[in-house]
């Protein structure tokens, strides 16, 4: 058993590297992660919050590579900082959703009966609930800090992870070797970890990549409605939303953040494709 | 004989279970939306009077609390709302002086029509581009198709919407959505014009996942033996694609379509806002701002009922279409 | 061949017709003005109207005893002449002859009495009740109305203007129809309200000021100002009030833009009853750290003017009469040290960006400026209703407020800065000096005297840094080029649409 897993893991990376989409996606994503780390460390030409009353809405120049916005702030620094914030919100949200969702999904699928029914019902309630209302409620009652936005997005995405995790568990549970293991008295945690988790791994990893990209777009939609990141902090979604009235005479305020959103979302989706190809032998496309 | 009746029993019971769980979910949603609204600060009085609430004396406030029905204990408020809702009385919208049912009667068809148009456009574009891409995997046209799919996914809806409105209005002086909204039975041509652009924006968002699902499903099926056999037998490639490949790839496409349609029914708030469409999304958002509890609660329930129904229907279609499940 | 050719011709013809239909903007044969609004009206009772859209729409249907003109002078409306008695405790008004309500019934002094009494009655929840609370009794006969006041109250005359002082028909009041039937004396008649979409008005041919040149006015709901501008450019909307400076910047030469100073003002409200703001030095530090000019430049794109507490034109405060007319970081830091915060402090500011377009910008500008003085401002962003409920409970340390101005400083500030004012809890500051000054201002009939009194009130408010008054934003009204004769009013009223023409 152990040998097989090793081979398949090595094989997975090997297959991933054979997928063009996977490689392109990984490069794009890596670029954005590096950019975010630079922003987090403060390695930016200007402070993203510094307002320069004399430099309002200047076109890209040698001093301000992406130009300045309506408060005289450097668009380049803000874009990079915005990337960092968008990724932070998205990663936090998806991690939370994944941890809670996978746990509940696996437990529900494995334990079955009442436990499963309650989890599925509660998950359906959240799934059918309009995301905007949920986000508004959380933001209105708790606040608009970035972690509250993450919480709102996490709650909306948890049902998907429950669903994705539960499916493979249900199908694997019925398999003979599992039934035998249980009859033989192997402890549940051991069965879970040795046999069930590896089967859940592939769809979860793909779902994580996809959800990360959705979360970034959701955050930008929430910012447009005033429910996401709050000024003066920069998130890509807020920058794009704020740029709507400015775009006609200050194109750089819209183009650069939009470009970065597009690149990171495209990157994440390509990585998801690559992972899907690598981890699921039946679905490998040339 | 026994086999068939057993099968029938099974089918009924699984449908029955499905409906029972749907009803449980709906009750859960009704409680959840009720509680969530009460957690948000502010109430119908501050929503209606704004800062002038400060000018009201305690007696006026007590009268208003009674008028808006918020002076009762929570449980009473919940039961009085849910029982009215179940008997068809969705509540009263104080700001507009209309019953929520009347408001929903006007707003719901707009949202349904928009969701419908968005889904159909999305499915057509998605399947077409997906097929286009899958025919020659790895080729330039495949790359183009995939690029479309990714861009359609990555560009935020509000950017696309604002761009369309600005260009159409400024360059072509054409902005049908700024005219009075016309229902399709009142003025079909104006209705078409008003649904066109928001439908397109929603369609593009739907097309992206549909396209990628179609492409990967097609590629998977094309590899299968029976397809090779058909091609080997001399059946023209296009016919093979349509008849065999597409039919077998339908399942994931149908599932995806169902999910997208259900999602769009939630009232694509951002699109409705920018294109001034008087749909459910705007109705809920404005009611939340005004803290009109009954309007929000009843509207959310209407949406939830539709969503759950769509899920059940998609499931049933899935079962009929999938040759493996019978 | 022939059939195909026929089909081709039909096809081309259809395309051409469709193209014309698509491209041609909706031109009406009659003079119909479409006004774009972002929010629907929320009631049909003019005396309870508080939201902008409701005030603007109903302001065209109803009339009040006096009106405020373009130079902010009080001029005759439904009353043609008036006078106070010697002690200022009685106001007599003589009404206009021959005025009819839109349902045909004549307007007389009994209608005025019934309308004013309705406003004074708490059960009607009229918005302007506090402004005329000094009315003790009303006598009406024929076309003469006498208001007997409990104390001398000269500002009450100015308070009689506006849609919240709408004169209603006594018949409608008695029948309990207010808010259901719409029947006024204004230049336009109510036709219908399509909830969430539009309000339609048509001209009132028997209007006392002469029938309007416009045949109809429709208020159409288009939720975002950017879309409203697009509609103006497309020609489907011909009039709009814009509040966002950024949208206003995009108005091209194909439209007519009116930029006028308004009475509304932006302020950083301070809750002086809450620590650390109960410390005068802290408040003064805030005042001195802020450059209002910079706030205007960034948050309002330069479209605004620095103001003092009073924006009423006749009694306007001198913005230079304050401890720090220009930002003085050194002085701010000195005040902080004197107040016991040599290393700066952190303050929280409640902000509701949805209330007004410049608020988000103001928050950002203030945060950045205060940081230079060592004050960390945490922006507490909430939605409108949350802001209101916390604001009323004075559950904030500081808040960015968009408050309406009035043409008389008494109606502007009595409710905030007198110890018995119903919004004093919110204002957070009062003093015996202010109380006595406000009473004097109310009862004095002499403009010279009142000028001195309100100058003293202004000084008291500024020297104690009760709030930090920022600026008065310009108001933008945009019309299509063919709309002529419009005069913007600083009160925000669109009443002058009664004189407007479309070519």
Please report, to the nearest 10 degrees, the dihedral formed by the alpha carbons of residues C66, C67, C71, C74 taken in order.
0
Structure tokens at C58: 């109903």
Please enumerate in sequence order all residues whose Cβ is within 8 A of that of C195, keeping only pairs 6 or more positions apart, or say none: B93, B96, B97, B98, B103, B106, C40
State mean pLDDT over B31-41.
Answer: 87
Determine the Cα angle at B183 with ends B166 and B48, to 5°.
75
Q: Measure the CA–CA gap between B123 and B133, rounded to whole angstroms.
A: 15
Identify which of C134, C40, C100 has the alpha carbon closest to the alpha carbon of residue C439.
Answer: C134
- The residue assigned the tokens 């202010």 is C434
A68 occurs within a structural domain: no
| Confidence band for C111, pLDDT divided at 50, 70 and 90 | very high
CA atoms in the 13 A half-sphere facing the CB of C103: 10
**Rounded-to-integer distance, Cα B9 and Cα B21, Å:** 18
- Any CB–CB contact under 8 A between B325 and chain A? no
Q: With contacts defined as CB-CB under 8 Å, which chain A residues touch B37?
A: 137
Q: Which of C448 and A228 is assigned the larger pLDDT?
A: C448
pLDDT at residue number A285: 43
Domain hosting A29: range is: 2-41+76-285
Residue pLDDT, tens place only, C16-40: 555 555 555 555 468 999 999 998 9
CA–CA gap between residue A48 and residue B8 (Å, rounded): 66
Q: Which of A132, A248, A266 sits opposite B269 (nearest CB)?
A: A132
* B81: confidence class by pLDDT, cuts 50, 70, 90: very high
Residue A136 has its nearest CB partner, among B29, B288, B304, at: B288
- Angle at the Cα of A53 (from A52 to A55), degrees rounded to 5? 65
pLDDT at A2: 43
Residue C38's closest CA among C284, C310, C252, C225? C225
Confidence of residue C9 (pLDDT cuts 50, 70, 90): low
Q: Give the residue with greater pLDDT, C15 vs C108.
A: C108
What is the predicted ipTM? 0.81
Give the Å distances, CA to CA, from C128 to B55, C62, C158. 9, 15, 12
pLDDT band at C2 (very low <50, low <70, confident <90, very high): low
Portion of chain A with pLDDT greater than 90, in percent = 14
A286: confidence class by pLDDT, cuts 50, 70, 90: very low
pLDDT at C189: 96
CATH superfamily of the domain spanning B100-321: MetI-like (1.10.3720.10)
pLDDT value for A234: 85
Convert the pLDDT of each residue in B118-159 to its tens digit: 999 998 999 889 888 887 777 788 888 888 888 888 888 888
For testing contact with chain A, the best of B111, B140, B150, B310 (most A CBs within 10 A):
B150
pLDDT given at position B142: 83
Closest residue to A226, CB basis, from C298, C301, C354? C354
**For residue C33, what pLDDT is reported?**
95
Between the alpha carbon of residue C292 and those of residues B238, C326, C359, the distances in Å are 70, 8, 14
pLDDT beyond 90 at C164: yes
Partners of C221 in the β-ladder: C37
Between residues A113 and A84, which one has the greater pLDDT? Answer: A84
Q: Are B25 and A141 inside 8 Å of each other by CB? A: no
Q: Is B57 in the C-facing interface, judged by CB distances under 8 Å? A: yes
In chain B, the percentage of residues whose pLDDT exceeds 70 is: 83
Exposure string for B259-293, b = 16+ CB within 10 A, e = fewer = bbbbbbbbbbbbbbbbbbbbbbbbbbbbbbbbbbb
CATH of domain C64-169: 3.90.76.10
Residues A66, A79 contacting (CB under 8 angstroms): yes
Query: What CATH number corresponds to the domain at position A105?
Result: 1.10.3720.10
CA-to-CA distance for A74 and A58, rounded, in angstroms? 9
| CA nearest to A59, candidates A68, A70, A72 | A68
Flag the least confident range among A238-252, B110-124, B311-325, C153-167. B311-325
| Phi and psi torsions of C261, nearest 5° | -70, 140
The reply to whether B59 touches chain C by the CB within 8 Å rule is yes
Q: How confident is the model at residue B326 (pLDDT cuts 50, 70, 90)?
A: very low
Look at C138 and A16; give whichever has higher pLDDT: C138
Average pLDDT of span C154-162: 90
Least confident of B105-109, B207-211, C454-458: B207-211
C338 phi and psi angles, rounded to 5 deg: -60, -30
pLDDT at B151: 87
Interface with chain C: mutation pick from A69, A232, A245, A253, highest number of C CBs within 10 Å: A245
* Residues C428-456, mean pLDDT to the nearest whole number: 90
CB-defined contacts A:B, below 8 A = 110
Q: What is the pLDDT of residue A221?
A: 82
- For residue C363, which of C331, C401, C336, C400 has the smallest C-alpha distance? C400
Judged by CB atoms closer than 8 Å, whether chains meet at B96 and C195 is answered as yes
CATH code linked to domain C265-472: 3.10.105.10
What confidence score (pLDDT) does residue A87 get?
92
> pLDDT tens-digit profile of B161-179?
888 888 888 888 899 998 8
pLDDT-based confidence at A139, cuts 50/70/90? confident
State the average pLDDT over residues A190-199.
72
Give dist(CA A237, CA A225) in Å, integer: 10
Q: Is the pLDDT higher at C4 or at A34? A: A34
Q: Which has the higher per-residue pLDDT, A44 or B263?
A: A44
Task: Report residue A157's pLDDT band, with 50, 70 and 90 as the boundaries.
Answer: confident
Q: Give the residue extent of every domain in chain B.
A: 15-99, 100-321
Which pLDDT does position C286 carry in this prediction?
93
pLDDT of residue B241: 60
Whether A13 is in a domain gets the answer: yes
The total number of residues shown for chain C amounts to: 503
DSSP secondary structure letter of residue A196: I
- Report the topology of domain C188-261+475-502: D-Maltodextrin-Binding Protein; domain 2 (3.40.190)
What's the rounded mean pLDDT across residues A206-214? 86
Q: What is the DSSP letter of A195?
A: I
For the segment A96-112, what is each residue's pLDDT rounded down to a tens digit? Answer: 999 999 888 888 877 77
Number of domains in chain A: 1
Chains touching chain C at 3 or more Cβ pairs under 8 angstroms?
Answer: A, B
> Can you tell me the distance from the alpha carbon of C482 to that of C502, in angstroms, rounded to the nearest whole number?
5
| Cα–Cα distance, C13 to B180 (Å, whole number) | 28
Distances (CA, A) of A252 to A57, A239, C139, C297, C482: 9, 11, 66, 20, 35
Average of pLDDT values for C122-134?
87
Q: Inform me whether the pLDDT recorded for A213 exceeds 90.
A: no
pLDDT at B235: 65
The proportion of chain A whose per-residue pLDDT surpasses 70, expressed as a percent, equals: 90
What pLDDT sits at residue C399? 95
Residues above pLDDT 70, as percent of chain C: 94
């Amino acid at each position: 058993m152990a040998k097989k897993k090793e081979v398949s893991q090595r094989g997975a990376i090997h297959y991933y590297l054979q997928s063009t989409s996977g490689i392109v996606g990984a490069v794009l994503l890596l670029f954005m992660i590096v950019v975010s780390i630079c922003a987090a460390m403060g390695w930016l030409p200007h402070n993203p919050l510094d307002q320069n009353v004399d430099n309002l809405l200047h076109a890209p120049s040698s001093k301000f590579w992406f130009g300045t916005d309506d408060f005289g702030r450097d668009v380049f620094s803000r874009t990079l900082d915005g990337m960092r914030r968008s990724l932070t919100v998205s990663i936090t949200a998806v991690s939370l959703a994944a941890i809670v969702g996978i746990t509940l999904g696996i437990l529900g699928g494995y334990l079955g009966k009442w436990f499963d029914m309650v989890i599925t019902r509660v998950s359906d309630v959240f799934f059918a609930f309009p995301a905007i209302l949920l986000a508004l409620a959380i933001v209105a009652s708790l606040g608009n800090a970035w972690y509250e936005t993450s919480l709102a997005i996490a709650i909306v995405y948890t049902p998907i992870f429950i669903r994705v995790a539960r499916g493979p568990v249900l199908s694997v549970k019925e398999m003979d070797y599992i039934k035998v293991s249980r009859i033989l008295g192997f402890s549940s945690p051991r069965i879970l970890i040795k046999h069930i988790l590896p089967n859940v791994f592939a769809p979860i990893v793909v779902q994580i990549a996809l959800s990360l990209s959705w979360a970034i777009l959701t955050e930008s939609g929430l910012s447009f409605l005033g429910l996401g990141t709050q000024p003066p902090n920069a998130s890509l979604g807020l920058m794009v939303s704020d740029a709507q009235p400015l775009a006609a005479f200050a194109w750089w305020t819209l183009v650069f953040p939009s470009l970065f959103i597009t690149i990171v979302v495209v990157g994440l989706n390509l990585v998801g494709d690559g992972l899907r190809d690598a981890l699921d032998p039946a679905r490998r496309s040339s | 004989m026994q086999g068939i009746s057993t099968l029938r029993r099974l089918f009924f019971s699984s449908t029955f279970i499905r409906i029972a769980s749907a009803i449980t979910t709906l009750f859960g949603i009704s409680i959840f939306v009720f509680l969530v609204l009460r957690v948000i600060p502010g109430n119908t009085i501050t929503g209606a009077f704004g800062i002038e609430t400060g000018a009201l004396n305690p007696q006026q406030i007590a009268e208003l609390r009674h008028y808006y029905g918020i002076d009762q204990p929570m449980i009473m408020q919940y039961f009085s709302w849910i029982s009215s809702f179940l008997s068809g009385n969705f509540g009263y919208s104080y700001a507009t002086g209309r019953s929520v049912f009347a408001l929903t009667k006007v707003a719901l068809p707009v949202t349904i029509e928009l969701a419908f148009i968005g889904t159909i456009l999305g499915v057509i574009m998605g399947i077409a581009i997906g097929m286009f891409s899958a025919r020659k995997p790895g080729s330039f046209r495949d790359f183009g198709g995939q690029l479309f799919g990714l861009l359609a996914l990555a560009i935020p809806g509000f950017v696309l919407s604002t761009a369309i409105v600005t260009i159409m209005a400024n360059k072509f002086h054409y902005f049908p959505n700024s005219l009075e909204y016309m229902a399709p039975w009142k003025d079909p041509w104006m209705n078409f014009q008003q649904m066109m652009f928001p439908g397109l924006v929603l369609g593009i968002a739907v097309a992206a996942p549909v396209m990628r699902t179609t492409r990967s499903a097609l590629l998977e099926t094309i590899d299968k033996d029976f397809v090779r056999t058909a091609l080997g037998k001399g059946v023209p490639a296009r016919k093979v694609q349509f008849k065999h490949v597409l039919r077998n790839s339908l399942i994931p496409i149908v599932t995806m379509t169902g999910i997208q349609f259900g999602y769009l029914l939630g009232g694509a708030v951002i699109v409705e806002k920018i294109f001034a469409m008087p749909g459910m999304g705007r109705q809920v958002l404005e009611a939340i701002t005004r803290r009109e509890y009954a309007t929000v609660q009843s509207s959310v329930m209407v949406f939830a009922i539709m969503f759950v129904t769509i899920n059940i229907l998609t499931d049933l279609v899935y079962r009929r279409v999938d040759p493996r499940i019978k | 061949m022939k059939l195909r050719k026929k089909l081709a011709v039909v096809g081309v013809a259809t395309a051409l017709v469709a193209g014309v239909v698509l491209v041609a903007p909706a031109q009406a044969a009659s003079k119909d003005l479409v006004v774009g609004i972002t929010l629907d009206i929320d009631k049909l009772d003019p005396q309870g109207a508080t939201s902008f859209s409701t005030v603007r729409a109903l302001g065209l249907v109803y009339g009040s005893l006096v009106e405020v003109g373009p130079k902010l002078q009080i001029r005759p409306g439904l009353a043609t002449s008036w006078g106070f008695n010697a002690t200022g405790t009685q106001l007599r008004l003589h009404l206009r002859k021959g005025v009819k309500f839109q349902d045909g019934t004549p307007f007389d002094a009994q209608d005025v009495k019934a309308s004013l009494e309705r406003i004074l009655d708490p059960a009607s929840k009229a918005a302007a009740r506090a402004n005329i609370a000094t009315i003790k009794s009303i006598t009406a006969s024929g076309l003469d109305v006498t208001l007997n006041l409990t104390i001398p109250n000269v500002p009450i005359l100015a308070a009689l203007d506006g849609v919240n002082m709408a004169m209603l028909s006594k018949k409608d009041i008695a029948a309990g129809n207010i808010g259901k039937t719409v029947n006024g004396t204004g230049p336009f008649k109510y036709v219908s309200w399509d909830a969430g979409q539009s309000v339609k008005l048509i001209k009132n041919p028997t209007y006392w000021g002469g029938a309007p040149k416009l045949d109809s006015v429709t208020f159409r709901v288009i939720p975002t100002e950017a879309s409203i501008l697009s509609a103006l450019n497309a020609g489907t909307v011909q009039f709009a009030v814009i509040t966002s400076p950024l949208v206003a910047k995009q108005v091209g030469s194909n439209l007519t833009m009116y930029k006028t100073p308004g009475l509304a003002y932006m302020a950083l409200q301070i809750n002086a009853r809450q620590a650390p703001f109960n410390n005068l030095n802290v408040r003064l530090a805030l005042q001195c750290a802020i450059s209002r000019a910079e706030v205007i430049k960034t948050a309002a794109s330069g479209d605004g003017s620095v103001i003092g507490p009073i924006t009423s034109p006749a009694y306007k405060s001198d913005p230079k009469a304050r401890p720090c007319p220009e930002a003085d970081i050194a002085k701010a830091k000195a005040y902080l040290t004197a107040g016991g915060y040599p290393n700066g402090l952190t303050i929280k500011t409640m902000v509701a960006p949805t209330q007004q377009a410049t608020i988000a910008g103001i928050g950002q500008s203030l945060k950045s400026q205060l940081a230079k003085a060592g004050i960390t401002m945490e922006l507490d962003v909430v939605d409108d209703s949350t802001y209101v409920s916390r604001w009323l409970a004075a559950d904030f340390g500081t808040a960015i407020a968009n408050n309406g101005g009035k043409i008389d400083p008494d109606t502007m500030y009595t409710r905030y800065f007198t110890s018995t004012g119903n919004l004093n809890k919110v204002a957070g500051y009062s003093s015996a000096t202010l109380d006595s000054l406000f009473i004097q201002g109310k009862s004095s009939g002499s403009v010279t005297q009142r000028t001195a009194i309100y100058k003293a009130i202004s000084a008291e408010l500024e020297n104690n840094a009760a709030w930090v008054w920022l600026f008065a934003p310009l108001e933008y009204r945009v019309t299509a080029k063919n709309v002529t004769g419009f005069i913007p009013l600083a009160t925000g009223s669109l009443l002058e649409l009664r004189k407007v023409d479309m070519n």
